[in-house]
Amino acid sequence: MDVLDLARLQFAVTGSLHFLFVALTLGLAPLVAIMNTRYVLGGNPEHERMTRFWGQIYVTNYALGIVTGLVMEFQFGLSWSGLTHYAGDVFGAPMAIETLVAFFLESTFLGLWIFGWHRLPKWLHLACIWLVALTAYASAFWIMVANSFLQNPAGATVRGDRLALTDFGALLSNPTLVMALPHVLAAGLLTAGCVLMSAGAYQLFRRTAERAFFTTSLRIGAVTAFVGAFLTVGFGYAQFGTVRSVQPDKWSANSLAGAGLGTMQTIGELLLLITFLLLVTIKWLPRRRWAQTVIMLITPFPFLALILGWIAREEGRQPWLVYGKLTVADALTPGLTQGRITLSFVAFAGVLGLLAVVDYLLIARLIRRGPALIALGEQPAPQPVLTF
């Protein structure tokens, strides 16, 4: 491989791994907020346990996902300085807003929610987790604004040797953003729903003592997965007309992008059918071991579809980095050697791969342990009474 191919492969691998964390975060955030709302409104201790259990899994995935996001940021400066020079005034604006506003607000409210259990008033504590969910969606919005600009450089004009932002409204209403954003958010719901279903199916298959807890988790997951699958497929197909009008040869001229798209469509339609059947039989699922086996087996498929969808969207734009304006080759950092990119590729891919494995193992351990021992929201230890 030459330097350009290595740099592209590095970004593809690290981007795919990072996207897996992001999708699960986007899916779990509103579910945890809804669980927390049910607890605050009804005061049922089981709803509190469910909030704390799935909130702990959300926090674990979120914390490890932060590091993968930092690796992604490093690559823009290390490998793609041509993008920064040519389109940084436009591409950098939504990226900066995402980091300085949405991400920091999300982290702040999440910290208040984590450490505010039994300390903040219930309604204020509940507001924190809803703000976490809203700012997570805001982060997704700004990232998709930046990505959609690469797909279709709307709102920008060439001035000299670089692009300048001339219409911020056109940037925000980019046609390649309008259907892509809800498609990504729905894919997050599908992913999170399958994780909830899988956790419930696994524990019920083991004949857990927490049968009621995981029956509820399974049913919530089944409903969420179906809604997510329905919206993902719907918004996915809704993009085709827009994409063809902006990038006519996006998938037909690129075999890898076309293959990724076709496989992703097959997985999406299969998951829609399966989740519909699970929704119809939701009453009997907790008592059918064969159904629990099926649920556990389909869990990896949303994650696979996420990667394939990302490949289809990005690979289909080649050889352009900013479509019609800047090629990938011209965006590559000058003087980048094969040795340097190989070293950074091994380091970045190794770190992100390790984090993905650790994330899986930690979440699997939390699910296997169940809600009996939950650190998140645990009552503080009693303080000693001092007497004189």
What confidence tens digit (pLDDT) does each residue in 287-336 have?
888 888 999 999 999 999 999 999 888 888 889 999 999 999 999 988 88
What are the pLDDT digits (tens) for 129-165?
999 999 999 999 999 999 999 999 998 999 988 999 9
Least confident of 172-186, 241-255, 261-275: 241-255
Structure tokens at 184: 């990504």
What 3-state DSSP class applies to 248? coil
The sign of the torsion formed by the CA atoms of 338, 342, 343, 345 equals positive
DSSP 375: -
Confidence at residue 216, expressed as pLDDT on a 0 to 100 scale: 92
Confidence at residue 379, expressed as pLDDT on a 0 to 100 scale: 64
**All structural domains of the chain with their residue ranges:** 3-372
Of 264, 248, 245, nearest in space to 256 by CA:
264
What's the pLDDT band for 102 if we cut at 50, 70, 90?
confident
Does the pLDDT of residue 255 top 80, yes or no? no
d(CA 370, CA 347): 34
What are the pLDDT digits (tens) for 49-88?
999 999 999 999 998 888 888 777 777 778 888 998 899 8
Mean pLDDT of 239-248: 88
Mean pLDDT of 214-239: 94
| Concatenated DSSP letters of 279-313 | HHTTTTGGG-HHHHHHHHHHTHHHHHHHHHHHHHH
Q: What is the mean pLDDT of the chain?
A: 89
Block residue for tokens 């389109």: 87
What ranges make up the beta strands (E) of 199-345?
A: 320-322, 326-327
Whether the bond into 319 is cis, omega within 30 of 0: yes
Confidence at residue 114, expressed as pLDDT on a 0 to 100 scale: 93
Does the pLDDT of residue 382 top 70, yes or no? no
Confidence at residue 288, expressed as pLDDT on a 0 to 100 scale: 84
Confidence at residue 253, expressed as pLDDT on a 0 to 100 scale: 66
H or E segment and range at residue 163: strand 162-165
Confidence at residue 318, expressed as pLDDT on a 0 to 100 scale: 87
Confidence at residue 383, expressed as pLDDT on a 0 to 100 scale: 45
Least confident of 14-23, 274-283, 369-378: 369-378
Confidence at residue 33, expressed as pLDDT on a 0 to 100 scale: 96
Confidence at residue 261, expressed as pLDDT on a 0 to 100 scale: 86
What's the pLDDT band for 381 if we cut at 50, 70, 90?
very low
Does the pLDDT of residue 387 top 60, yes or no? no
The rounded percent of the chain whose pLDDT value lies above 90 is: 60
Angle between the N-to-C axes of helices 122-151 and 81-97, in degrees from 0 to 180, rounded to the nearest 10: 150
β partners of residue 156? 165
3-state secondary structure 43-77: CCHHHHHHHHHHHHHHHHHHHHHHHHHHHHHHHHH
